[in-house]
Structure 1
Amino acid sequence: MKINNKKKVMNHMIFLLVVIVLLFGTIITLRFFGCHLLSILFVFITLLVLLYGKLKNRFIFEYENSGEILSIKSYQWLSGCKKPRFEMPHRKILNIEIKEGILKKYLVILFLSSSGKVLRMDIDITFCNENQVNLLFRDITKNMTMKNHELISERR
């Protein structure tokens, strides 16, 4: 199963870029006509839009489950870097959960390292919609329950 949020992130970032260009154009036009006080207001609005874009982080998230290995790629919008951020066999994953903040949403994965320590990985899934998050959570937990079922049947 494959899940990604590339289209949603691209649409959002293009919209933000258009808004910022329009705000800069408005600032230049207001400065040209001598409305300096109003242009300062638009500078403040532009800074707020830039801050919002920075807080949202613009991460593209790609999830792929090939049956045995769980692979998650997460990278910045403009970078073409698609290096896996997280690749792990299903048998090493202990628990997953979705944590939501004010502006961000994270997939939290607890897994066993090769040394036997329990490690935690937080992956930004802010731009994934509810349906994608539910599919992702259901797919990973299904593989975790299959893993637990196999372990129980092996012990018998």
Structure 2
Amino acid sequence: MMKINNKKRVDHYMTVHLAVLAFLFLSIGILIYLKYILTLKIFSSMALLVLVYGFLKNRFVFEYEHSGKMISIKSYQWPSNRGKILVLETPQKKIVRIEIQEQTFRKYLILLFLNSSGRILRKNIDITFCSENEINQLSKDISNNLMKDRSGTYFL
């Protein structure tokens, strides 16, 4: 059984992010009180950039579990695990193709798999906070048992 989980990394990142924001907003409040206008503009710009960066990073917690025949993937946005949860539970043999796609601030796991009616479906799962080692393990684990076509070659 293989498990990958980035919850601790996301929790650490968000704690640091919120501490930096709290410091910046506290500084802005002090600067308003002391009437330092130029410094206030600099700290306000920094706070805005930190907020935008935090939203671009898209704080998704990723959980992967492979029990031999079934693959289970959960992805939900920090801080709650109740809201939108993307769950993919499928037999390993139904996965046709796996890709890792990197964008400017995000990384995605793209899975192509067969549904019960034989159609190929695509799921994009945010894996931004997974380490390179975890991504390599994930890719290797899933691609080891990819579905084969009739000639015996992999669909990768």
Hey, what does 2:131 align to over in structure 1?
129
- The answer to which structure has the higher helix fraction is 1
Map 1:6-21; keep pairs closer than 5 Å.
6-21=7-22
Runs of 4+ in 1 over 6 A off after TM superposition: none
Cα deviation, 1:81-117, whole Å, max 9, x if unaligned, reads 2855211111111000100011100000001122221
Cα distance in 2 for partners of 1:54, 1:85 equals 23
Shift of 1:132: 0.2
Hey, what does 2:82 align to over in structure 1?
81
Correspondent of 1:98 among 97, 100, 105: 100
TM-score (norm 1): 0.89
Please give the secondary structure, in 2, of the residue aligned with 1:94: strand
The aligned length equals 149
TM-score (norm 2): 0.89
Cα distance in 2 for partners of 1:113, 1:148 equals 16
Hey, what does 1:38 align to over in structure 2?
39
Cα distance in 1 for partners of 2:136, 2:79 equals 27
Q: Which runs of 5+ in 2 are unaligned?
A: none
Please give the secondary structure, in 2, of the residue aligned with 1:28: helix
Map 1:21-36; keep pairs closer than 5 Å.
21-36=22-37
Is 1:67 equivalent to 2:82 in the alignment?
no
Please give the secondary structure, in 1, of the residue aligned with 2:39: helix
Cα distance in 2 for partners of 1:28, 1:131 equals 42
The percentage of counterpart residues that share the same residue type is: 50
Aligned residues: CA RMSD: 1.8
Relative to structure 1, is the Cα distance of residues 66 and 84 closer, same or farther in structure 2, using a 3 angstrom cutoff? farther
